[in-house]
A and B are shown apart, each in its own frame.
Chain A
């Protein structure tokens, strides 16, 4: 939510005070939300973010408990500490939400994302792409004489770095799953 450019004094004509009450540091948080896997639950969660002007940097969802029909939604979001607290409280009060965990403050956690990258090229570019893939521990899951599809898992930053290196070597397409995360230890 970037602040609008509102001229000083102009809000005296409004029925609302339009100025941002808090200007503070923006933090990134990874939230794990355990929900009933029922119709509309994802729309409800996403609608909360759009309706209240919160950010979503990444979102993944899948049923993790098939007998209890529970899904785990992993959301990477940004905001001031006050906004992050609000997001957690707003999520927690939703009827189909069972648990909200802030993996960023609850302690160390592992965050992983899976990406597929299609790189097209010949000659030196092709060899260089393969060499870098080895360094990044990306697997080749499809190959033609003119292209590779690499599969890699890692923290989002690692995937960013690899994609950046592939760009001059013929990166054509990239598909990413978004972040899945778990707290470390028990």
Chain B
């Protein structure tokens, strides 16, 4: 006998049955019945945010650090539209989210009612799937389906729009095991012939490289473990996208560092010069490929991706393998072992000699300064002082600081690095750090930020305070929109159009206003002590690290250039004067 209950009660029951522990949200007229149900129970915790965009980024941080779907609850109209940026962010980075939005009552839909917006229309192109539920009898089943869709195949955000009268009406509750999970069952096992072809290619390759991405992280810790085992046993160099950092440990001996526009010299040249590229769960993003026509011109390319539409979207590959990274790697590793663990040892040794030559360039070198804090130095010190922490999680905002963080902070485990990759959403890091901290209350969670990005969602410090999330906001403050300024310097004749931060708040006083701790540091000699003070404080900290204002982020592949036309710090002046690059 099915239980009868209201739609609002159904929402809470379905979330409970889906194992949800935390919901990030903001109340409003069209979701009041659901909030009333949340009030009357203790299984699901509600984190009240200060702006709905923050709720979505928190849910993303929660999802990325736990591997579980993040859940968001917002009201109709502005509540839903404010959530849109976060939803797009989750779509671009394949983060599983279930967003519940209130809607005006069904009989008012289409009348331009108060706080009415066509939420399913607005979010249709930016969700994996969305539903407007007009019948309470279908609500619980739809929620169960939503969790299935968000977490199956390539993960992504889904949205359920729930009119207020549907929340009040009563109907029978459908248990998760009785819900139709629809025909949507993406294939996880890769084609064994293609996997065999990949193994054969690896056995004879002279200059192989693994190029891994967020798909490894999304596939789960088992996938990262299999990747590590194969890479280390085969002795093949490995690089990763921004999204995939931590899948293979930065301390691992085959690690080349991140690749791409601001990736490491050795990683990009290995990509350019390889004869076999094995793409594991990455999508040949334009920040990775540079000029497509000249991308890794002499390599056979293997692409493992759970989403068939990623294959041949940007780069034509020779061996496509559609399947879940974990399943494919498991088959590949078993096959490779069964065939005698072969690699071309001599050629591989020559390839490593070449890579070690490239490493000597020391592409991350920067001019140290005794008078001002170089942002790279700040991150080197942060790395040094936090690397031994067993539970260190890093989030970032978007810009130069993000790239430096990817270059200078090292990740030995997956799910420890949360950054907005595809959409590049300034304002992501602070709320994401809170979401991570909510999921891991005893962890050290640091948001590496720029002052301009950080200001975009700084109201969420209120959330951090209210929910006792001791997040550390490490702001590299150059009083500039650093990445914009860098492009203007290098590509737009040093005309710095609107790229400086004026009328900045006093961050220490701002911290005091929120009731947390503020630290300011401008002298490299004081930096270590200041960082230690931040780490020792039991509560949220806003760390205003005043850094060198005109530092540029290198290496850099100018857009439309191939990997072997990378710009190193020393070349920058030549580039500006229009000289031809190597």
Is B124 among interface residues, defined by CB-CB distance under 8 A?
yes
Contact of A14 among B128, B183, B184, B559 (CB under 8 A): B559
**A173–chain B nearest beta-carbon distance, Å:** 31
Residues in A neighbouring B128, C-beta threshold 8 A: 95
Pick from B186, B290, B311, B312: contact of A17, CB below 8 A. Answer: B290
Task: Decide yes or no whether B560 CB sits under 8 A from chain A.
Answer: yes
Q: From B292, which residue of chain A is reached at the shortest CB distance?
A: A21
- CB-CB under 8 A from A92, the residues of chain B are 308-309
User: A89-B311, A92-B308, A95-B129 in contact; A43/B492 too (CB < 8 A)?
Assistant: no
The tally of residues in A whose CB lies under 8 Å from a CB in B reads 28
In the complex, chain A residues 162-183 whose Cβ is within 8 Å of any chain B Cβ: none
Give a binary string over A35-46; 1 marks a CB under 8 Å from any B CB, 0 the rest. 000011001100
| Mask: chain B, 287-298; 1 = CB below 8 Å from A; 0 = not | 000111100000
The answer to the question of B441 belonging to the interface, with a C-beta cut-off of 8 Å to chain A, is no
CB-based nearest A residue for B306: A93
- The answer to whether A17 touches B313 (Cβ under 8 A) is no
Is A17 within 8 A of B559, CB to CB?
Answer: yes
Q: List 6 A-B contacts (CB under 8 A).
A: A12-B559, A16-B286, A21-B292, A40-B121, A48-B125, A95-B182
Q: Give chain A nearest CB distance to B516 CB in angstroms.
A: 36
- Considering the complex, give the chain B residue whose CB is closest to the CB of A95: B129
Partner of B560 from the list A11, A39, A43, A47 (CB cut-off 8 Å) is A11
Contact A43 B121 (CB under 8 A): yes
Which B331-363 residues sit within 8 Å CB-CB of chain A?
Answer: none
**Chain A 137-149 per-residue mask, 1 if CB under 8 angstroms from chain B, else 0:** 0000000000000
Docked complex: A64-114 residues within 8 A CB-CB of B: 82, 85-86, 89-90, 92-96, 98
Q: Hey, which bits of chain B sit against chain A, CB under 8 A?
A: 120-121, 124-125, 128-130, 132, 149, 153-154, 182-184, 186, 286, 290-293, 307-309, 311-314, 316, 487, 491-492, 558-560
Residue numbers in A under 8 Å from B121 (CB-CB): 40, 43
Known contacts A17-B290, A21-B292, A93-B307, A86 near B129 by CB under 8 Å: no
Let me know if A12 and B491 touch, CB within 8 A. Answer: yes
Q: In the assembly, what is the distance between CA of A13 and CA of B311, in Å?
A: 29
CA distance A13 to B560 in the complex (A): 9
Q: Which of A19, A89, A95 touches B309 (beta carbons < 8 Å)?
A: A89
Complex interface: chain A residues within 8 A of B311 (CB):
89
Residues of B within 8 A of A19 (CB): 560
A162, B314: Cα distance in complex, Å: 42
A14 and B560 form a contact (CB under 8 A): yes
- B281 to A: closest C-beta gap in Å: 16
Q: Which of B120, B286, B308, B492 contacts A40 (CB 8 A)?
A: B120
Interface membership of A3, Cβ < 8 A: no
- Cβ–Cβ < 8 Å partners of B124 in chain A: 40, 43-44, 47
Instruction: Select from chain A the residue with minimum beta-carbon distance to B291.
Output: A17
* CB closest residue in chain B, given A19: B560
Nearest opposing residue in chain B for A18, CB measure? B560
Cα-based distance from A55 to B154 in the complex (angstroms): 26
A51, CB-defined interface residue at 8 Å = yes
A186 within 8 A of B: no
| Chain B hits for A44, CB < 8 A | 124
Q: Which of A11, A82, A93, A98 contacts B308 (CB 8 A)?
A: A93
In the complex, the chain A residue whose C-beta lies closest to that of B293 is A21
Assuming A43-B124, A51-B125, A93-B186, what are 20 further A-B pairs, CB within 8 angstroms?
Answer: A11-B560, A12-B560, A13-B491, A15-B487, A17-B559, A19-B560, A21-B314, A39-B132, A40-B130, A43-B121, A47-B124, A82-B316, A85-B312, A86-B312, A89-B309, A93-B154, A93-B307, A93-B309, A96-B129, A98-B183
* Complex CA–CA separation, A96 to B184 (angstroms): 8
CA distance A20 to B540 in the complex (A): 48
- B125, chain A: closest CB distance, angstroms: 5
Q: Which A residues touch B314, using CB under 8 A?
A: 21
- Complex CA gap A51/B487 in Å reads 28
| Contact, CB under 8 Å: B125 / A17 | no
Given A44-B124, A86-B313, A95-B184, A17–B308 Cβ distance below 8 Å?
no
A166 to B182, CA, bound (A): 50
Instruction: Tell me which residues across on chain A come within 8 A of B291, comparing CB atoms.
Output: 17
Q: How far is the CA of A43 from the CA of B121 in the complex (A)?
A: 9
Report the separation of the CA atoms of residues A44 and B120 in the bound assembly, to the nearest whole angstrom. 10
Q: Please, which residues of chain A bring their CB within 8 A of the CB of B491?
A: 12-13
Specify the chain B residue showing the minimal Cβ separation from A44. Answer: B124
CB contacts (< 8 Å) of B132 on chain A: these are: 39-40
User: Chain B's nearest CB lies how many Å from the CB of A33?
Assistant: 14
